[in-house]
Amino acid sequence: MEYQLLFIALAVGFGLFMAWGIGANDVANAMGTSVGSGAITFKQAIIIAAVFELAGAVLAGGEVTSTIRKGIIDPAMLQGSPEIMIYGMLAALLAAGVWLMIASTLGWPVSTTHSIVGALIGFGIVGLGFSSIAWGKVGTIVLSWVVSPLLAAFFAYLIFRTVQTLILDQPDPLAKAKRLIPIYIFLTGFLISLVTLYKGLKHIGIDLDRQESLMLSALIGVVIAVIGAFFVRRIKDDPNADKSFRYHAVEKAFALLMICTACAMAFAHGSNDVANAIGPLGAVVSTAKSGLVGQQAPLPMWILAVGGGGIVIGLMTYGWRVMKTIGTKITHLTPSRGFAAELAASTTIVVASTYGLPISTTHTLVGAVLGVGLARGISAINLNVVRNIFVSWIVTIPAGATLAILFFFLFKAILPAT
């Protein structure tokens, strides 16, 4: 195809920009509870993300990724129109990247999946017509705005109440923590493993059925619990620190647990959400090289590396803004509260994946943090911040669609025909 190098170069640039936005916004969501609770520092979060996000993206990001994300657009309507595919995917990548940059600047945790879906809707409407959009799919995405945060808030409330009742409210909370935290570690390892097996390894040929996934996850949970129990038992009372904060030693135990969850969530996130950037990028590269529009395109390793590298750069340069919102502005987090939120988010993702419920990782994490805040009373939640977050969720799809429409017409006017 003529001008293929120009189209590929633009796609790589916009794909890197979109991946940067994922790192600045979505990865900050996953790391926000760990950083905000004090379990890890911002520098440690960057190191964890650099290793595990990149590993998840490159190792498990997918040998084959659907180029039409989430089935929003009927690919049959693009057959014979490679230039429309290229203009549309470039517009979608740039639109989603711009919206994520705006949201990250304002500290709004928004869904990167919804951003690219909104952009694809905009491109589909103007490039192919209103009927080209799978509006049923859009409806399930809208439903996720309600399902994800409510489920996560419910689980987080229950989990933190058990922590309060069984550990924090006991006469000797550290002794109780040493007995019960290994059980929480098992649950965390078990559920995080299930999240990874369900969502993180689906593209690398590891096709486990439900029973195999449960057994392997249980084994991983037991191993992690034994290792965790060894370190938890080594934690000693610090009389000086406990004078100012009674639960200092207990929170140190939960902080150990959150380091594990941060690593696992980063891997699962890198393997799953990197597709938001590299799916459209792969579509442009495949179409530009062959001149044919295909629903699926094999992804070279360098495309996976572009996505993973962009994600890490986004977290390093801009991730602190959304981390601050998740970790400190919604409600005050300690390691025990952050743990409850992350375990609730993992539980929600597993439940939703098992029963096919619409889910958003971003909305799930925010809902979990809200649930932890509610366990301490409504006054513990910054309702102004919550209101702004909800508004940003509602406008994400329309904003992505509007920007994609503008960029589609711009590219159609200035770029050469295929």
> At 67, is the pLDDT very low, low, confident or very high (cuts 50, 70, 90)?
very low
Quick check: 63 pLDDT over 50?
no
Rounded CA gap, 227 and 209, in Å?
A: 27
Render pLDDT for 307-349 as a digit per residue (tens, 0 to 9). 888 888 888 888 888 888 877 778 888 888 888 888 888 788 7
Average pLDDT, the chain: 81
**Are 134 and 352 within 8 A, CB to CB?**
no
Question: What pLDDT band is residue 65 in, cutting at 50, 70 and 90?
Answer: very low
Please give the tally of structural domains in the chain. 1
CA distances from 20 to 27, 98, 170, 255 (A): 10, 10, 45, 28
| Range(s) of the domain holding residue 383 | 4-414
pLDDT for the residue numbered 69: 47
pLDDT(155) > 60:
yes
pLDDT at 293: 61
Q: Which residues face 297 on adjacent strands?
A: 65
The per-residue pLDDT for 398 is 93
| Cα–Cα distance measured from residue 215 to residue 294, given in angstroms and rounded to the nearest whole number | 37
Round to whole Å and give the CA distance between 225 and 227.
5
For range 176-205, the mean pLDDT? 76
Contacts of 311 by beta carbon, 8 Å cutoff, 6+ apart = 19, 20, 22, 23, 27, 49, 53, 54, 57, 270, 274, 277
**DSSP code for 291:** S
**Highest mean pLDDT of the ranges 89-93, 254-258, 287-291, 316-320:** 89-93
Give, as one character, the DSSP assignment of residue 73: B
* More confident call, 236 vs 124: 124
CA distances from 340 to 174, 216, 331, 369 (A): 17, 23, 13, 8
**Residue 406 burial (C-beta neighbours within 10 Å; 0-12, 13-18, 19+):** middle
List the single range of 25-34, 270-279, 290-299, 406-415 with lowest mean pLDDT: 290-299
pLDDT for position 97: 94
Cα torsion 239, 240, 242, 248: sign: negative
pLDDT computed for residue 243 by the predictor: 56
| Dihedral, CA of residue 60, residue 62, residue 63 and residue 66, to nearest 10 | 180
Assign 278 a pLDDT band (cuts: 50, 70, 90).
confident
Query: CB–CB of 336/254 below 8 Å?
Result: yes
